[in-house]
Chain A
């Protein structure tokens, strides 16, 4: 079985400050990890993924994520937040042993304050 936890329903950060959105996962095999962003009345947009290799993954719009195997975490980060980054963020995992579908976390609402 695979699962994802996003412990924070809401994250607020001031514009220009660094942001972190947390994600932890559980899989029986090796994980493939993904971050998606959802704007109001829009579909999910792919941000970045971790497959293998370098633990720091860079993605769209200046976002990056750090894979930490010992802590089973995949936190999303950005050095300097923009008001336009305000949206709903979802972490997702696939178990390389068995699953083809993604298992999503419950989402974190990010609000960047001007």
Chain B
């Protein structure tokens, strides 16, 4: 079946602009996660949703970052007033539930470059 999809695959923007990154999880998966992977590092947690609500947003670096999942499926990560330090690959993952034993399935990521 279809895996996790993310669009766009690449996004180049200018410092100060607003961007939206989209994630479409595996059908039927109730838990959705966003991670950020900088060059040479492992993914770092940003936020996770159980259904429509953000159950844990402790990884968001500041209030320029926001994410929504209004219908419990597709999620959008929103970054306001982008900075060069926001450049990274943004990964989305989903799992059947948020149970700790469930593996997460990752999308291919969106590579964000802020000039």
Chain A residues within CB distance 8 Å of chain B: 4, 32, 34, 36, 41-46, 49, 51, 90, 92, 94-96, 99-107
Contacts and interface: CB of A to CB of B under 8 A. Distances in A.
Contacts of B21: none
Contacts of A46: 103-105
B33 A90 contact: no
Given A44-B43, A44-B91, A102 B104 contact: yes
B45 interface: yes
29 contacts: A32-B100, A32-B101, A41-B108, A43-B4, A43-B109, A44-B43, A44-B91, A44-B106, A46-B104, A51-B101, A92-B42, A95-B100, A96-B100, A99-B100, A100-B48, A100-B50, A100-B98, A101-B48, A101-B56, A102-B33, A102-B43, A103-B45, A104-B42, A104-B43, A106-B40, A106-B41, A106-B42, A107-B40, A107-B41
B12 to A, nearest CB: 16
Given A90-B42, A100-B50, A100-B56, 9 more contacts: A4-B42, A34-B103, A44-B106, A46-B103, A90-B43, A102-B35, A102-B45, A102-B104, A107-B41
The 8 closest A-B pairs by CB, nearest first: A104-B42, A101-B45, A44-B106, A43-B106, A43-B108, A51-B101, A46-B103, A100-B98
B31 A100 contact: yes
Given A44-B43, A104-B44, A36 B101 contact: no
Interface of B: 3-4, 31, 33, 35, 40-45, 48, 50, 55-56, 59, 91, 93, 98, 100-101, 103-109
Contacts of B3: 43
